Amino acid sequence: MITRKSPAELEKMRRAGLLVWQILHELAAMVEEGVTTYDLEKAAERMMRDAGARPAFKDYYVPAVGARYPFVLCTSVNDEIVHGMPSPKRVLKKGDVVSIDTGVELEGYYGDSAITVPVGEVSEETRRLLRVTQEALEAAIEKARAGNRLFDICSAVERHVTANGFSVVREFVGHGIGTQLHEEPQIPNYVDRKNQNPRLKEGMVLAIEPMVNAGRPETRILKDGWTAATQDGSYSAHFEHCVAVTSNGPWVLTRP
Ligand code: MF3
Ligand code: CO
């Protein structure tokens, strides 16, 4: 069942969403050569505590891994796609890209968002990867309208990515969000005909999160058991927003 949120619930989700945006904004400003992904983790932890929010990822049980995730952030560098774990040993250097993915629970409602940030100067092809992934997310957001169907969102991402010669990751998906971090429906970044294709209705909130590889789509899990990376070593980008379907069209809860 896909839950639909009342206007009062959407206002609460908005507060959670804006907090996540503010945290990501401040973390992005910290990113530079020499900073560790653990520095980002500690800063995020403090911002969540100061705001009276609960970190949504920390201790979250992930069935595919069979364990609870131990950090408030996922920090996935270069060929890492998702679930990269912050570490004081992971020192960012020029030419890297770091995906920062985080979520909070505030007053019982969740916000979840991700950005991929370049460290210093990155290659032209890497800049194109980040731009195309963001454009794919914007194209998908534009489809989050009552009367459209879920596949309109999936297809918008897939088409923009493949038209630009990149590939979408198939093993990880977006999701509904509300009083739980992960609600129905699953939102693949490609049209999966085996899935249902529900009509979108007012009050639905969707966490849309394209994960795009510069090279081939295949993934591998690193020895830590969590980090998903590209098999071919190509860079990967990840952007995510929570979007409410409203009578005024798509409302992106995770940005001002
Ligand atoms: N990338 C996932 C998402 O946005 C992160 C949640 S899984 C967790 O839904 F383990 F980090 F909690
Ligand atoms: Co998400």
Which atom number of ligand 1 is nearest to the Cα of residue 226? 10
Nearest CA to ligand 1 atom 11: 57
Question: What tokens were used for 235?
Answer: 């860079």
Pocket of ligand 1 (CB under 6 A): 57, 60, 62, 69, 74, 82-83, 101, 112, 175, 209, 240
Taking residues 145-166, what's their average pLDDT?
A: 98
Ligand 1 atom with the shortest distance to the CA of 238: 1
- pLDDT score of 41: 99
pLDDT tens profile 97-118: 999 999 999 999 999 999 999 9
Q: Write down the residue that tokens 């979250």 correspond to.
A: 60
The mean pLDDT of 188-200, rounded to a whole number, is 97
Ligand 1: centre distance to CA 113 (Å)? 10
- The pLDDT value recorded for residue 168 is 98
User: Which pLDDT does position 65 carry in this prediction?
Assistant: 94
Instruction: Pick the atom of ligand 1 nearest to 240's CA.
Output: 4
Distance (Å, rounded) from C-alpha 119 to C-alpha 212? 18
Domain boundaries, the chain: 7-252
| This prediction's pTM | 0.98
Classify domain 7-252 at the CATH topology level: Creatine Amidinohydrolase (3.90.230)
**Which pLDDT score, from 0 to 100, does residue 174 have?**
98
Cα 103 to ligand 2 centre (Å) = 8
Q: How far is CA 124 from CA 21, 95, 128, 186, in A?
A: 27, 10, 6, 33
Distance from Cα 148 to the centre of ligand 2, integer Å: 21
How far, in Å, is the centroid of ligand 1 from the Cα of 121? 28
126, HSE (Cβ side, Cα atoms, 13 Å): 20
How far is residue 43's CA from residue 254's CA, in Å, rounded to a whole number? Answer: 19
* CA 151 to ligand 1 center in whole angstroms: 22
